[in-house]
Amino acid sequence: MESVEQPMIAEFPESLQNREMIVKVSHVTRIYELGASRVTALRDISLEIPKGVLVALKGRSGSGKTTLLNMIGGLDTPTQGEVELFGIRLSQLDDEAKTELRRQRLGFVFQSFAILPVFSAIENVELMLRIANIQTDRRKLAMRALEIVGLGSWAHHRPWELSGGQQQRVAIARALATRPELIIADEPTGELDSTTGRQIMALFRFIAVKEGITVLMATHDPLIEEYAHMVVDLMDGQIRSIRFPNL
């Protein structure tokens, strides 16, 4: 397989140069041992992500985007290299400390909405606050998150009363409720039609700009080009290019 030349860390546009870099990935390689086989999912990846932007990891299935998300989220460990979140080297944290970091400072959104059908929208959001051990004002925080995603009037509806796009908004509200510094989203529009997908991407951009929360999403959806501040193109486990289409 022909190797793609690995670029250096991107030169950021002037509007981003003075921002805090909340994610730093340095020469990360990830190799999986599958019996007698070795699969290299990531090859010498280096990347910096600033605060308060919508960043898309874009590529085909097998390009390495989900593996890179998992590395940044502390869900997997590099074979080589280092990942830093908020100035903290993940290699220096044990599993318990990583879990606490995710609980307190990260939010996650997945392709499958993973909201509980027996709970209303606001109860699903409150559950995340309970998991984060937030003791006070849970109902108020949950409602604020639902209002940010445009579902304040749907707070007491069950999932089966909501459209697919509304269910994904509940999942986003759940990630927002703890006021994370970084939201990690894996193919969040994968099960949505193009119109609803646009609405979700516009919402993520709004969250980045207005709430100051960095949103990092993996996608192969070409519509992301219209919304992302920063697009990282991946191919065969390497960064092919880094672009800034919407600053």
Look up the domain containing 200 and give its range. Answer: 51-69+94-243
Instruction: Report if residue 211 sits inside a domain.
Output: yes
CB 100 within 8 A of CB 149: no
Statement: residue 1 has pLDDT above 70: no
Strand order in 214-219's β-sheet? 106-110, 182-186, 214-219, 54-58, 230-235, 238-243
- Residue 9: what pLDDT? 56
Instruction: Report if residue 29 sits inside a domain.
Output: no
- Residue 131: what pLDDT? 87
Higher pLDDT, 111 or 183: 183
Instruction: Report if residue 14 sits inside a domain.
Output: no
Residue pLDDT, tens place only, 177-220: 999 999 999 999 888 889 999 999 999 999 999 999 999 999 98
As a whole number, mean pLDDT of residues 11-23 equals 88
Residue pLDDT, tens place only, 28-66: 999 999 888 999 999 999 999 999 999 999 999 999 999
- Residue 2: what pLDDT? 45
Would strands 106-110 and 80-85 be described as parallel, antiparallel, or unpaired? unpaired
Instruction: Report if residue 195 sits inside a domain.
Output: yes
Instruction: Report if residue 4 sits inside a domain.
Output: no
* Tokens read off for 130: 């309970």
Cα separation, 29 vs 172, in Å, equals 30
Residue pLDDT, tens place only, 126-182: 999 998 888 889 999 999 999 999 999 999 999 999 999 999 999 999 999 999 999
For residue 56, the domain's CATH number is 3.40.50.300
Q: Which residues in 128-163 are b (16+ Cβ under 10 Å) and which e?
A: bbeebebeeebeebbbbbbebbebeebbeebbeebe
Strand order in 21-34's β-sheet? 37-50, 21-34, 80-85, 88-89
- Residue 33: what pLDDT? 92
Cα separation, 121 vs 33, in Å, equals 41
Q: What is 205-241 written as a DSSP string? A: HHHHHHH--EEEEEE--GGGGGT-SEEEEEETTEEEE
Instruction: Report if residue 32 sits inside a domain.
Output: no
Of 14, 2, 32, the residue nearest 238 (C-alpha) = 2
Statement: residue 113 has pLDDT above 80: no
Statement: residue 6 has pLDDT above 60: no
Instruction: Report if residue 11 sits inside a domain.
Output: no
Residue listed under structure tokens 């944290």? 93
Q: Any residues with CB less than 8 A from the CB of 170 and at least 6 apart, and which?
A: 113, 115, 121, 124, 125, 146, 149, 151, 159, 162
Residue listed under structure tokens 């097998």? 62
CB 74 within 8 A of CB 90: yes
The sign one gets for the Cα dihedral 48, 53, 175, 240 is negative
| 24 Cα distance to chain centroid | 15
Instruction: Report if residue 131 sits inside a domain.
Output: yes
For the chain, the domain total comes to 1
